[in-house]
Structure 1
Amino acid sequence: MMPERTRWALVLLIWVAGLAAAAQYGKISVIFDRIGAFYPQAGAWLGFTVSMVGVLGILLGAVAGAFVAAMGYRRMLLAALWIGAAMSALQALGLPFALFLATRGIEGLSHLGLVVAAPTLIAQISAERDRGATLTLWSTFFSVAFALLAWLGIPLVERFGVTALFAAHAALMALLAVLLRPALARVPAPVRQPMPRLRDLPAVHREIYRSPHIGAPAAGWLFYTCCFLAALTLLPAHVDPGLRALVAGAMPLVSIVVSLTFGVWLLRHMPAVTVVEIGFGLGTLAAAWLWLSPGGPAASLGLAAALGLVQGATFAAVPQLNATAATRAQANGALAQAGNLGNTLGTPLLLAATSVAGYAGMIALMALLLLAGLAVHRGLAGLRRVV
């Protein structure tokens, strides 16, 4: 049964757990140059310190929902926090590089458990009228975590060294596990699902991606993630140098603000998928603006604002399209898989387009990806009317 009132304090606490999950990426990304100095012998393997977490998301994201539904959402959230805390604590000991990479792989499993269980639980403890707002808040966890790490993590590392950041992350995750255990005990437990067998995993993927309900959020999310991270990475280089730093810092903030304000307002008046489609449509128009005004600061911020609508509404679409906790967990697992795949492929694809056709080629590919996201959602909406 849906609650009549949203448990806002618990929603915020789970969102902070999301910040800790995003920090499993960000604690390496924001100090990547210092990681190279910490492990000077790593060479080309150094890139795996970031991507090891994402590789597991690509391989296991879709089936993670089935495992979380079988193990229980509360149990998985707490276990993922403790595992993450243990891995960060080990990293704080200054492990040899090979062991450090092994802990990053295990962190990938912890990250998957968090990003599948947390939004499923947030949807469960939110009143229907507030779900758009609570899940839009959840959608900001990545951007907010990276900003906090830049503001707080880098000064910590400058003063106390790389391992201090790992120790702080371990302490945060352990504290969250302690705080969430009694709070989650009062949350009704959804019905546990049977544990999937290895031979069933291909069928799990087919069930998710053949469903116009379960797979729809992830289908659009793939195109969003292909564009968003690549735009944050590549567009600032084409902005006037005097405004470059300002635009680079403002783009993720504009996306968050639009998502939490205009996006939440739209979600109170129309279905989440419609808001996603509006975001993709406006994003395509912003790409055309960027083509007409190369590197324009206003056009760059316009693109970020449009993608902010996609960001929040995609997570809000999960409970609107899926009625049970089990199917929502599957949808959130597919989102994790699509997001990791999009983040991995997007920047290389746009760089390749730039090398072939210059700035115009990059913008044209970006527009095509955004149109594809809109077309996929339109097509799946048509299938839902038939099924």
Structure 2
Amino acid sequence: MSRDSVNNPAPVPAPAPKTQLLEIVLLWIAGVSTAMQFAKFSVSYDAVLQHYQTSATMTGMALSILGVAGLMFGVFGGIIASRVGYLKVLMGALLLGGLLSFIQSLLPNFTLLIITRLIEGFSQLGVVVTAPTLIAKLSAPQHRSLSMGLWATFFGVAFAVSGWLGKAILDQYGLSELFFSHGVLITSMAVILYFLLRNNPVLNIEPVAVNQGSFLRQMARVYRNPRSLLPSVVFLFYTCTLVSLLTYAPRLVDDAKLQALLMVCLPLVSTCGTFLAGALAQYVMRPQHVALMAYSGIGISALTLSSLLDQPIVFGLAVGVLILFLGMVSGASMAMIPALARNPSEQAQSYGLIAQFGNLGGTIGPPSFALLISLYGIYGLVSLVLLICSLGIVFSFLANRIKSTESV
């Protein structure tokens, strides 16, 4: 052994980062509990309508007004989280959501109920900006796309669970107990995650210094950053399409039993596609390639629909394949963010932008599909899907030209 090797021993390599599965799953459950802010009003729509004796339009507003915060302040939320700290924002958002659910369980007057729903949107935004950022940080690089695929299922799982357990609570105990149960769930997740994550060394993410320019300048920078913008635009076309197809495609089938079956199964098929995309992005191909494949599959599936309408079962299967590919777009979009973002601050801003674009898509998609279906039937639906697919392919291709930071 040489003297140099004794005096200058080789540096010991740092241990490879490990995926903290328990923490990731609990953050995902927190996301599910937050998505239930939408789902609890969806499953209790008739009960809210009956209790408050208001119009269907106003009751619908109580459901949809939750998305206003994300639509208007999505990017702003990401900037705030990067300045204040992700764990602090997450805890505050979850506790705020729990408090608002407890207030709703008192069944206040309708005006106060609408106000709580509007504020609840900020709780939802805080979670969807911070939780995926922390999940990416807690995931080893070889598992990151898989973790983001899991995260992207939170919305569909929330609706499935709410349709099962939430409906049972509503039928057996009533509207007040449904809201109270949600408050207990989301508050419990805040307490559990606080004690689990507060001393986690992996999450020692320094807040961004405040001398990064004004909020408006930072927001403009986010919109100009293709690493943030392109995954969000790819996601926008997904949200334009999914809610609309889940709503209108089953109603094109005359068979009532098949229609009911599609309404139950299609959200689950979408969730499967989302997780499948995460697995493909992790082990097989880049997330951008998954998005390209998914949008191509959506287009091919849509082309078959107009000729299958007189064969209800085959039509239902074709819609299922289309929804599976749509779910894959969601998983691919989420997986793109940690693959392209250069730091946790950029990730949080990307998740804020994706929340904003997601709410935009959910706002403009359903009325657009409703109009074309009313005018042209199945051909209107297929034409709009093909247009959206074409745009999705273009922006997925542009995203594919950006070098992934995970390979650097």
TM-score (norm 1): 0.94
User: In the alignment, which of 293, 299, 302 is matched to residue 287 of structure 1?
Assistant: 302
Partner of 1:163 in structure 2?
A: 176
What is the CA deviation profile of residues 316-367 of structure 1, one whole-angstrom value per residue up to 9, with x for unaligned ones? 1100000200000010001100111111111110111112222201111111
Partner of 1:137 in structure 2?
A: 150
Q: How does 1:1-387 map to 2 (within 5 A)?
A: 4-41=17-54, 44-187=57-200, 188-194=203-209, 200-241=214-255, 242-261=257-276, 263-294=278-309, 296-382=315-401
What percent identity do the matched residue pairs reach?
32
CA distance in 2, matches of 1:348, 1:257: 27
CA distance in 2, matches of 1:143, 1:371: 25
Larger CA Rg, structure 1 vs 2: 2
CA distance in 2, matches of 1:266, 1:75: 30
Residue 9 of structure 1: how far off its partner (Å): 0.3
| Bigger Cα displacement from structure 2, 45-54 vs 326-335 | 45-54
CA distance in 2, matches of 1:211, 1:121: 21
Q: Residue 67 of structure 1 contacts residue 196 of structure 1 at CA under 8 Å; is this kept in 2?
A: no
Residue 53 of structure 1: how far off its partner (Å): 0.9
What is the CA deviation profile of residues 358-378 of structure 1, one whole-angstrom value per residue up to 9, with x for unaligned ones? 220111111111211111222
Residue 46 of structure 1: how far off its partner (Å): 2.1
| Bigger Cα displacement from structure 2, 229-238 vs 304-313 | 304-313
| 1:200 counterpart letter in structure 2 | S
CA distance in 1, matches of 2:252, 2:51: 32
Residue 255 of structure 1: how far off its partner (Å): 2.1
SS of match in other structure, 1:163: helix
Query: Alpha carbons of 1:43 and 1:347: their partners in 2 closer, same or farther (altered >3 Å)?
Result: closer
Query: Alpha carbons of 1:2 and 1:162: their partners in 2 closer, same or farther (altered >3 Å)?
Result: farther
Q: Residue 148 of structure 2 contacts residue 278 of structure 2 at CA under 8 Å; is this kept in 1?
A: no
Query: Alpha carbons of 1:2 and 1:144: their partners in 2 closer, same or farther (altered >3 Å)?
Result: farther
Residue 314 of structure 1: how far off its partner (Å): 1.1
Q: Residue 66 of structure 1 contacts residue 196 of structure 1 at CA under 8 Å; is this kept in 2?
A: no
Query: Alpha carbons of 1:231 and 1:50: their partners in 2 closer, same or farther (altered >3 Å)?
Result: same
| 1:49 counterpart letter in structure 2 | A
| 1:258 counterpart letter in structure 2 | G
What is the CA deviation profile of residues 21-79 of structure 1, one whole-angstrom value per residue up to 9, with x for unaligned ones? 10011110111111111111466322221111101111111221001111111111111
How many residue pairs match? The answer is 384
TM-score (norm 2): 0.90
Residue 133 of structure 1: how far off its partner (Å): 1.2
Q: Residue 89 of structure 2 contacts residue 126 of structure 2 at CA under 8 Å; is this kept in 1?
A: yes
Residue 293 of structure 1: how far off its partner (Å): 2.0
| 1:215 counterpart letter in structure 2 | L
| 1:26 counterpart letter in structure 2 | A
| Bigger Cα displacement from structure 2, 376-385 vs 335-344 | 376-385
CA distance in 2, matches of 1:267, 1:7: 17
CA distance in 2, matches of 1:70, 1:10: 23
CA distance in 2, matches of 1:262, 1:64: 27
Residue 239 of structure 1: how far off its partner (Å): 2.4
Query: Alpha carbons of 1:109 and 1:2: their partners in 2 closer, same or farther (altered >3 Å)?
Result: farther
CA distance in 1, matches of 2:54, 2:297: 46
Q: Residue 372 of structure 2 contacts residue 381 of structure 2 at CA under 8 Å; is this kept in 1?
A: yes
CA distance in 2, matches of 1:57, 1:86: 19
Q: Residue 255 of structure 1 contacts residue 304 of structure 1 at CA under 8 Å; is this kept in 2?
A: yes
SS of match in other structure, 2:147: helix
CA distance in 2, matches of 1:2, 1:138: 26
Query: Alpha carbons of 1:68 and 1:266: their partners in 2 closer, same or farther (altered >3 Å)?
Result: closer
